[in-house]
Amino acid sequence: MKKLIYFMFLTAFIMLVCSGCATYQSEVKPPQGIFFTSIKAPLTVNFDHTPTNAKLLKTSYKKTQYFQDFLLTWMNFAWGDINIPMIANKAGINKVAYADCEFLNILNIYAEFKVNIYGYADEKNDNSPEL
């Protein structure tokens, strides 16, 4: 009986840890690691005439975070705001060219999802190309 309870507990624990609660959804998602993931991937997938030259500004200072408390409550918490207009406005970008994302996951205990936006700054004599 003790063995059965131990086995059930272990199964539940493995399922919880490996079920990918700290994962994310995106149009492009490379393979993830169970213990550790640190990847960058495309967020946008419509690339026709997408500029990638050096004049592009990059902004990525916003991220969402995830934390699972394994010790006391076993509850998980996620917070953050990564909406594209807000990030672009703060960096003065008014023409977004494309976006990438960064995902960090450590043992499903701590995770971060960051959005990198690339675009042109708004200027009065705007010479940036039409996107």
Binding site residues, other proteins, CB under 8 A: 3, 7, 10-11, 14-15, 18-20, 23, 25-42, 44-53, 58, 98, 100-102, 116, 118
**Nearest approach, Cβ of 62 to other proteins (angstroms)?**
16
**Nearest approach, Cβ of 121 to other proteins (angstroms)?**
17
Cβ count near 94 (within 10 Å)? 14
Neighbour-count burial of 50, counting CB atoms closer than 10 A to its CB (0-12 exposed, 13-18 middle, 19+ buried) = exposed
CA-CA distance, 121 to 127, in Å (whole number)?
10
CA-CA distance, 127 to 53, in Å (whole number)?
13
Residue 1 or 72 with smaller CB distance to other proteins: 1
Residue 52 or 83 with smaller CB distance to other proteins: 52
**Nearest approach, Cβ of 28 to other proteins (angstroms)?**
5
Residue 118 or 124 with smaller CB distance to other proteins: 118
On the CB side of 39, how many CA atoms lie within 13 Å of its CA? 14
Tell which residue, 116, 117, 118, has the closest CA to residue 56.
Answer: 118
**Nearest approach, Cβ of 116 to other proteins (angstroms)?**
7
Residue 79 or 99 with smaller CB distance to other proteins: 99
